[in-house]
Amino acid sequence: MSVQSLPDLETMVGNIIAAWEACPAELRTAGAQWYPAAYELAADMAATARITTAQAAGIIAALSPSMGWAANVSAAWAVCESHRARVTTPRRHTRVQMTKVRGVLATADEDVIRAILTGPKEHAFYRNIMGDTAIVTVDRWAYRTATGEPLAARSLPPYLYTIVAAAWTIAAERLGVSVRTLQAAVWLFERVQAEARRAVERELKRLAKRLTRLQAEFDRGIARIVRRKRTRRAA
């Protein structure tokens, strides 16, 4: 499926609801706590850099596109620590995103920060971290949950983002849970599932190598037996 073609809305809503229903209770609880924990992380960064929590959250959001969470956090810390030390901000993303980072560092006005974060994903991510529970961050994981396919491009065009976000919002309304919690819980669940799949793949590769070695040993053993038989016949 190309990025330009999405399943129908009801199919995506059903996929999201199915993922939530498969999500263990502990991950649902963790999902409800994820964004508040991200806010606390931003507060810690803000204290280090001597900026506002909104600015730190804006830095995290600006650095988030096409970046895993661990790398995102590492990059944001690097920016905050360099700001505290009053040294040149390290290049941790594209020029466009680093321009946004510098813009966020230059203002404590939350309206201005929201205006700087023009990408739909980074904008929603910032608002989720800052406490908005009515908007959804549609990242690669959220796209895959909704559509059943990996995202083929670096990002979703805004009009497609809006459709996928609508599917998440409808699913949350039907489930009676905030869309922020729904997305975070399913994100955690999808990551656990992906790691489990990778573990199975690693084990299958290990077993395949072992079987290859055993087959080679077997073939060598058969070859030795054949040679011995031929030697006996020749004698």
pLDDT per position as a tens digit, 86-110: 888 788 899 999 999 999 999 999 9
d(CA 14, CA 34) in angstroms, rounded, equals 24
217 in a structural domain: no
Q: Which residue has the tokens 């037996």?
A: 225
d(CA 105, CA 58) in angstroms, rounded, equals 9
pLDDT per position as a tens digit, 23-68: 999 999 999 999 999 999 999 999 999 999 999 999 999 999 999 9
Task: Say how many domains are in the chain.
Answer: 1
The whole-number pLDDT of residue 195 equals 75
Give helix 95-105 / helix 53-62 axis angle, nearest 10°: 180
The two three-digit tokens of residue 136, written as one number: 């959804």
107 in a structural domain: yes
Residue 148 contacts by C-beta under 8 Å, 6 or more apart in sequence?
7, 15
Structural domain span for residue 45: 9-194
202 in a structural domain: no
d(CA 121, CA 136) in angstroms, rounded, equals 8
Supply the DSSP symbol for 46: H
The whole-number pLDDT of residue 1 equals 47
2 in a structural domain: no
168 in a structural domain: yes
**Which ranges of the chain would DSSP assign to H, the alpha helix?**
9-22, 25-49, 53-62, 69-85, 95-105, 110-116, 120-129, 140-147, 158-175, 179-234
3 in a structural domain: no
187 in a structural domain: yes
211 in a structural domain: no
pLDDT per position as a tens digit, 59-71: 999 999 999 999 9
